[in-house]
Amino acid sequence: MKSITLSTVTLILLGTLTVGMADTTETTLENTVTEQTMTQTQTREMKQERVRQMNQFKKQLADMPQEEREAAMVEMQTKMQTQTRTQTRTQARTHSGDAVETVAPEATKTMSQTRTMTQEHSRTQEMTQTQQMQQMQQMQQRHSADMQAHQTTMQSQAGNIDPTIPHL
């Protein structure tokens, strides 16, 4: 009789501990998912804001002279790098102070990987935007050269001047 009671008590105790561990693990996973969702939402909002700023900046660039355009591009790159660093630090502080003690090592690793991927994506996006800016600048330079060539052709045709004959 004692062995049946002892084994019954042992099974009940093990069942209780297993259920308690499952609840703790489930809560930790829910917290991790919530944090990841918040990080993804913040990243999405940052991307949307950056796109809005870039569109606005491109419109302004189109109207600027060449020298001002170059200075504005350098200034914008500096601002974007500063903002990215600040936001990354803020997110790191927020996430590191939230629930470091209650988060499982797997969750911490996942959050770290998510942050790293977000940073890499931000860097890639910055590089892409820089390339787009350079392409736009080259396109505007070509357009300007084409316009000058067209004006020269129009002037020579208006004055009945043969553009193939050098003039002194």
Name the most confidently modeled range: 26-35, 61-70, 130-139, 155-164.
Answer: 130-139
Average pLDDT over residues 70-82: 81
Res. 100 pLDDT band, cuts 50 70 90: very low
Q: Answer whether residue 164 shows pLDDT above 70.
A: no
> Span 141-166, mean pLDDT?
78
Q: 28 to each of 51, 83, 100, 114, 117, how far by Cα in Å? A: 34, 31, 11, 17, 22
Minimal CA–CA distance to 40: which of 129, 121, 126, 127? Answer: 121
**Residue 103 phi, psi (nearest 5):** -90, 135
The predicted pLDDT at position 133 comes to 87
Q: Is the pLDDT of residue 76 over 70?
A: yes
pTM value is: 0.29
Task: Give the mean pLDDT of 130-147.
Answer: 89
- Is a pLDDT exceeding 50 seen at residue 99? no
Give CA 168 to chain center in angstroms.
Answer: 57
Question: DSSP code of 100?
Answer: T
User: pLDDT grade, residue 151 (50/70/90)?
Assistant: confident
Residue 19 — very low, low, confident or very high, per pLDDT cuts 50/70/90? low
Q: 126, 81 in Cβ contact below 8 A?
A: yes
